[in-house]
Structure 1
């Protein structure tokens, strides 16, 4: 029986009301691991995961070093595109960067009822076992504890950040860059027309060995045509946020921004990227998109030595993006998650390995002008229709947050417009 979380999931979280019955999980295990009679199921406690309901599956009697599996269930608002993307990204990592400790895909379901196992035909669960279930991924469990759960000194954090930089540089240098930008989907057409072809599981009937770069999972932006330039990427994101601003009543107090945003998209945005080609071959690189301490697992094997990274998890929004996007979340808002001097050591190590990074405070490194443009665009997009509102806020508190976001958009637009002459010179 799955253990219950100690506190209820807040109603605004994507996993509120999301769960899989014990019979459903046991049936999945029976299909994927035939012959195993016993299984222990443990649900990750509330507050430890936001976008997915997480279950740990353990098999009594197995070898002590068998860590079992993780069942990652889609939260509300997410569909088959997120499942396809993470399965694809983990497969790419496994092929090109086998030394990076990350989960391996064991099985998945895009609709919650049809089980895909690499190299095997699909198996459909009985509807009485899995009625209207969300999609999920079953993956191997990597050892270690999240950095965010530990109390670490500066020396330990610096060592971890340098190790992390080595791994980021690996996927930057080993995974071939792509012509198109976005997240990944299973390619269903002729193999020669796929964007990416993997050498794993060639008999997989789900086509996960041939992939296309299409759409943006974070934002539920589904596209039939590829994104071929940075300006196109930003335009698509801005237009999606503008649509939310105009249709979601949560953001109605800020709708007066809509005409100015429209004008910005048409007149200012193209000029910010003046001189850049509309399509640049092999210009988009593999990007984790969430290098937060909660997604980096470590173990300490020697009390006199720093912890070692034992796993990097959560590639659900990973994909192929402009070089700077790997760092935008940390650069804009999350740098303090890693603290100093850890994060600066991360950037320094990446620069030594030939990876472009944001400027390091006090050292004047990095291309300040282009990084400032990306930071302002990211800030603007994030604040037009913030995904985290209303969340726990209502009444006056919500009004205050919306006013802060409005000011953030106005400031970012003003500063970007001021940059146009510099970009044109």
Structure 2
């Protein structure tokens, strides 16, 4: 984990780490650390004034930009390397290509964006087909999804949509890397504050090297800055219904990232196809429906399946598949 808080966390150290013996039902790795000062940001956020929130957002933007500037050569989660230092290794979950169910199955690390995305899509197809008739709405699009895979593997998709740089052309080089450090859960519950000062960032469990769009699509819900599915009307309605304070804070955050750090969010004005592709993967075999028999779905769950299928169809059309 990079040093990004300076003197605010001096004295914090790891006391012990390793793997627990299999004396419990689920063996697990552990890290014993000094306790950081402060309280979770989400526990005090609602009681902060707009001015105080902006003070916090200034720091959030800096932390995010510094993480974004760390270039990595492969895609995957961090693991302990031969010399004890972290390296990019296999994915912790959900990245088998389905060709081999043994220990040697492909889980990364992945050398490129296309290899990573294709493997994830293949995994979602596997979930879809293994679930018998649970995902009939999205199974109907299987041939189109396979066409999409071919366009990604051939490089046609990036040639078709990827003319825009991942860095703003008018800003300094090296601001953001195509594969960079991703926290994995960049939400207010994992940020510790003392007053309005951020003093710690927690929960690096799923940290690693990932494509730049991943953090935007998976985090930032607390700032209403998450790159939502453009074809999910419910998510878009939530954005349209932001309060004035929420909108002002969001615009302030994005302005700092752009003007001070040369970063911009992924979405309508910046490589939207990667946002569409991220949400498309989720909608192939919706994870929130996998553990429930279709016969036991509630009306809300049934509707969410229809929404996912509609979004998948529209995403494939957008990607010309």
- Normalising by structure 1, report the TM-score: 0.56
Task: Tell whether 2:305 aligns with 1:380.
Answer: no
TM-superposed CA distance for 1:283, in Å, is 4.2
For the residues of structure 2 that align with 1:213 and 1:257, how far apart are their CA atoms? 34
Matches within 5 A, 1:69-108: 92-94=1-3, 98=6, 101=9, 104-108=13-17
Tell me, in whole angstroms, the C-alpha distance in 1 between the residues paired with 2:49 and 2:253.
16
Instruction: Determine the C-alpha separation between the residues in 1 that align with 2:37 and 2:283.
Output: 37
Q: Is this contact kept in 1: 2:74–2:179, CA < 8 A?
A: yes
Instruction: Select the structure with the greater relative contact order (CA < 8 A; seq sep ≥ 6).
Output: 2
Distance verdict in 2 for CA 1:369–1:340, change over 3 Å: closer
How has the CA–CA distance of structure 1 residues 245 and 375 changed in structure 2, closer, same or farther, with 3 Å as cutoff? same
Deviations 1:370-417 (A, max 9, x none): 1x1111111101211222225788243322221111111111111121
How many residue pairs end up in the alignment? Answer: 271
Aligned pairs (5 A) from 1:343-422: 343-358=250-265, 368-370=269-271, 372-390=272-290, 394-417=297-320
Distance 1:224 1:387, change over 3 A: closer
Distance 2:9 2:303 in 1: 43
Change (3 A) 1:265 1:224: closer
Say whether residues 1:214 and 2:89 are aligned partners. yes
Higher fraction of helix: 2
Distance 1:168 1:408 in 2: 30
- Which residue number in structure 1 is paired with residue 118 of structure 2? 235
Query: Structure 2: where are the runs of 5+ without partners?
Result: 97-104, 163-176, 219-225, 229-234
Offset, 1:325? 2.5
* Counterparts of 1:224 and 1:390, CA distance in 2: 21
Q: Choose the corresponding residue for 2:216, options 320, 324, 327.
A: 327
Shift of 1:273: 1.0
Q: 1:18-417 to 2 correspondence within 5 Å?
A: 92-94=1-3, 98=6, 101=9, 104-110=13-19, 112-113=20-21, 130-138=23-31, 139-150=33-44, 151=46, 152-173=48-69, 175=70, 177-188=71-82, 207-209=83-85, 211-221=86-96, 223=106, 226-249=109-132, 251-253=134-136, 254-267=138-151, 270-274=155-159, 283-300=178-195, 307-329=196-218, 330-332=226-228, 339-358=246-265, 368-370=269-271, 372-390=272-290, 394-417=297-320
TM-score, scaled relative to structure 2: 0.72
Secondary structure of the 1:344 match is helix
From the CA coordinates, give the structure whose radius of gyration is larger: 1
Q: Unaligned regions of 5+ residues in structure 1, if any?
A: 1-91, 114-126, 189-206, 277-281, 301-306, 360-365, 419-425
Contact 2:95/2:106 (8 A) holds in 1: no
